[in-house]
Amino acid sequence: MAKEDFYKLLDVNKNASEAEIKKSYRRSAMKFHPDRNTDNPAAAEKKFKQVKEAYEILSDPKKRSAYDQFGHAGVDNSVGGGQQSGFGAEGFGDNLGDIFGDMFGGSRQRSSVQSGSDLRYNLELSLEEAVIGAEPKIRIPVLTQCGDCRGSGAKKGSMPVNCSMCHGQGQVRMQQGFFSVQQACPTCHGAGKQIKDPCRKCQGQGRVQETKTLSVKIPAGVDTGDRIRLSGEGEAGANGAPSGDLYVEIQVKQHAIFTREDANLYCEVPINFPTACLGGEIEVPTLNGKVKLKIPAETQTGKLFRLRSKGIKPVRGGAIGDLLCRVQIETPVHLTKNQKELVEKLNSLLVGGGKQHSPQEHSFMDGVKSFFDKF
CATH superfamily, with its number, for domain 259-366: Urease metallochaperone UreE, N-terminal domain (2.60.260.20)
What is the rounded distance in angstroms from the CA atom of residue 149 to the CA atom of residue 362? 85
Question: Is the pLDDT confidence value at 83 over 70?
Answer: no
Model confidence band, residue 66 (pLDDT cutoffs 50, 70, 90):
confident
Mean pLDDT within 177-182: 68
pLDDT at 175: 67
Domains 6-101 and 259-366 share a fold: no
The larger pLDDT score, comparing residue 239 to residue 140, is at 140
- Give the pLDDT confidence of 305-323 residue by residue, as tens digits: 999 999 999 998 889 999 9
CATH topology of domain 6-101: Helix Hairpins (1.10.287)
Looking at per-residue pLDDT, the higher value among 73 and 30 belongs to: 30
> What is the model's pLDDT at position 359?
62
pLDDT value at residue 355: 62
Q: Determine the average pLDDT of the residues in 7-31.
A: 85
Q: What is the pLDDT of residue 105?
A: 41
Strand-pairing partners, residue 289, are 286
pLDDT digits (tens, 9 = 90+) for 268-308: 999 999 999 999 999 999 998 999 999 999 999 999 999 99
Q: How far apart are CA 197 and CA 195, in angstroms?
A: 6
Please tell me the pTM assigned to this model.
Answer: 0.58
- Contact between 224 and 193 (Cβ < 8 Å): no
Taking only the tens place, the pLDDT of each residue in 316-366 is: 888 999 999 999 999 999 999 999 999 899 888 877 655 666 666 556 566
Average pLDDT in the chain: 82
Give the model's confidence band at 369: pLDDT under 50 very low, under 70 low, under 90 confident, else very high: low
Fold of the domain spanning 112-158+200-254: HSP40/DNAj peptide-binding domain (2.60.260)
pLDDT in tens, 166-175: 888 888 887 6
Is the model's pLDDT at 39 over the cut of 60? yes
Query: Where in the chain are the domains?
Result: 6-101, 112-158+200-254, 161-194, 259-366
